[in-house]
Amino acid sequence: MKETFRWFGKNDPVQLSHIRQTGATGVVTALHHIPNGEVWHLSEIKKVKDQINAAGMDWAFIESIPVHEHIKLRTGDYLKRIAHYKQSLKNIAQCGIHHVCYNFMPVLDWTRTHLHWKLKNDSTALRFDKIDMAIFECFLMKRNNAENDYTEYILEKAKIRHSKMTSSEVKQLQDSILKGLPGTVDDLSMDVFKEMIAQYDGITHQDLKSNLSYFLNEIIPVAEENNIKMAIHPDDPPMDIIGLPRIVKSEKDLDDLLQYVDSPSNGITFCTGSLGASADNNLPEMIKKYRERIHFLHLRNVKREADGSFYEDNHLEGSSDMYEIVKAIIQIEEELGIELPMRPDHGHQMLYDLQAENTYSGYTAIGRLKGLAEIRGLALGIKRNLMI
Ligand code: DNO
């Protein structure tokens, strides 16, 4: 695996010089200052690329060129936005960058109810709590018919927990869900959020899939001509939330996606954290199945709980078997003669990072470095064992 590390640009307290010290050779970043849906111009791309190269690394993956909501909805000026997307692809290729991660999640990107959930050892983790999500939808946002998406058991628990919450706990929950997560959407107010959600009224899974298919049929030929590998990020969490359809969460969804356009440029970001939050996904088997179409790896581990909640565990612990996952990756790398870019995804906030200011949730330095180091050791052990 080629080790990479995510960098959020000049405002990121984790600087390129720090990333270099992790041993990663590749940087994963985006032009975060360009508004979603606008063209990435050559001069801007080149500036960031030069910075990364000057720090002794390469720009291994773009994460992400975001997909404008109008494209997801196939409404408004979506044709113009698709034209911009194509131009951005041509421009990055001209600068020698050929790997793009993106997602097709409506309104929200990844979603958590807790951004600083305290673990037993006093470090903190990201958490998705089903009961808190029900509180948000049913009592804070008051979405029509939200109750229908929850079991009696969850609703009952939600009612009791909500009645005991302090106003600052309520605010914290709302902020965590509406917070613009790193490198993705902006912070949203409840009113704007509701308006955005309302745009998806009546949009079914099939509608959204057909919009994704349309988008891919437009951009994949351009990606192919420019030797670019597109890698869709799965939905996180891998389930419908807030009444929004989510369409990249299972093997069936990935099968559909790959047949929209049969091209090596139409690939997957295999995020073991996102896909691993669903017990239906057998990750080592899926890695083997999609071997030719996995272009990027996000490695992390979530611990699933009985009621559908989960939290982000240590990279080698949690509900997914990281040993089997890394072994499957190493085997396909050997068989196909490739080296897949991977980044240690999310990490606990721990040690000095607990005091650090302006850190990006999930993207503190030390927690991710710990994950990277553990996975590096695991990979070495597996390789030696397989005598590769
Ligand atoms: C979460 C990230 C995602 C990812 C986007 C890709 O930590 O993996 O936000 O960057 O979904 O477009």
Q: Is the pLDDT of residue 37 over 70?
A: yes
Ligand 1 and 362: CB distance under 6 A: yes
- Take residue 320 and report the two structure tokens written for it: 């997914």
Residue 249: alpha-carbon gap to chain centroid? 12
Ligand 1 and 300: CB distance under 6 A: no
Residue holding tokens 């709302």? 174
Query: For ligand 1, atom 12, which residue shows the shortest CA distance?
Result: 102
- Take residue 210 and report the two structure tokens written for it: 């057909």
- Take residue 38 and report the two structure tokens written for it: 């606008």
Using CA atoms, how far residue 342 sits from 225, 239, 270, 277, in Å, is: 25, 24, 9, 19
Mean pLDDT, range 15-30, rounded to an integer: 98
How many other CB atoms are found less than 10 A from the CB of residue 300?
26
Q: Is the pLDDT of residue 168 over 80?
A: yes
Q: How far is 343 from 26, CA to CA, in rounded Å?
A: 9
According to DSSP, residue 264 is labeled T
Nearest to 29, CA basis, from 3, 59, 51, 66? 59
Strands of 178-234, DSSP E: 229-233
Q: Which residues contact 347 (CB under 8 A, 6 or more apart)?
A: 300, 315, 362, 363, 364, 366, 367, 368, 369, 370, 371
Q: What is the pLDDT of residue 182?
A: 52
Q: What is the pLDDT of residue 185?
A: 56
Question: Taking CA 11 as the corner, what is the angle to CA 13 and CA 187, rounded to the nearest 5 degrees?
Answer: 110
Q: What is the pLDDT of residue 179?
A: 80
Q: What is the pLDDT of residue 253?
A: 98
Ligand 1 and 364: CB distance under 6 A: no
Mean pLDDT, range 154-172, rounded to an integer: 97
Q: Is the pLDDT of residue 255 over 80?
A: yes
Contact, 316 vs 378, CB < 8 A? yes
Annotated catalytic residues are 233, 271, 298, 345-346, 363
Q: What is the pLDDT of residue 187?
A: 76
**Probe target for ligand 1 pocket from 8, 28, 65, 109, with the most ligand atoms within 8 Å of CB:** 109
- Take residue 49 and report the two structure tokens written for it: 């690329």
Amino acid at 323: Y
Q: Is the pLDDT of residue 242 over 70?
A: yes
149 backbone φψ class: left, alpha, beta (φ>0; ψ -120 to 50) = alpha
Q: How many percent of the chain have pLDDT more than 70?
A: 98
- Take residue 222 and report the two structure tokens written for it: 């351009």
Residue holding tokens 């990027």? 296
Mean pLDDT, range 224-233, rounded to an integer: 98
Q: How far is 83 from 335, CA to CA, in rounded Å?
A: 37
Q: What is the pLDDT of residue 188?
A: 81
Q: Is the pLDDT of residue 134 over 80?
A: yes
- Take residue 8 and report the two structure tokens written for it: 């959020």
Q: Is the pLDDT of residue 256 over 90?
A: yes
Mean pLDDT, range 53-70, rounded to an integer: 97
Q: What is the pLDDT of residue 213?
A: 98
Q: What is the pLDDT of residue 270?
A: 98
How many helices (H) does the chain have, and how many strands (E)? 14, 12
Ligand 1 and 102: CB distance under 6 A: yes
Residue holding tokens 């959204």? 208
- Take residue 105 and report the two structure tokens written for it: 């999640």
Q: Among 150-154, 235-239, 272-276, 359-363, which is the least confidently predicted range?
A: 359-363
Residue holding tokens 């008051």? 142
Mean pLDDT, range 183-203, rounded to an integer: 85
Mean pLDDT, range 62-75, rounded to an integer: 97
Instruction: Tell me the CA–centroid distance for residue 354 and ligand 1, in Å.
Output: 23
Which strand ranges, in their side-by-side order, compose the sheet holding 124-128?
A: 114-118, 124-128, 310-312, 302-304
Q: Among 39-53, 184-198, 231-245, which is the least confidently predicted range?
A: 184-198
Residue-wise pLDDT for 105-117, tens only, equals 999 888 999 999 9
Mean pLDDT, range 286-307, rounded to an integer: 98
Atom of ligand 1 nearest to the CA of 102: 12
Average pLDDT, the chain: 96
Atom of ligand 1 nearest to the CA of 66: 12
Using CA atoms, how far residue 3 sits from 26, 166, 191, 212, 345, in Å, is: 6, 43, 41, 30, 11
Q: How far is 101 from 267, CA to CA, in rounded Å?
A: 9
Strands of 217-309, DSSP E: 229-233, 266-271, 294-299, 302-304
Beta pairing class for 229-233 and 294-299: unpaired
Amino acid at 211: N
Nearest to 324, CA basis, from 360, 366, 276, 269? 276
Residue-wise pLDDT for 333-352, tens only, equals 999 999 999 999 999 999 99
More confident residue, 313 or 186: 313
Nearest to 348, CA basis, from 30, 92, 126? 126
Distance spanning both ends of the chain, measured CA to CA? 13
Band of residue 384 on the pLDDT scale cut at 50, 70, 90: very high
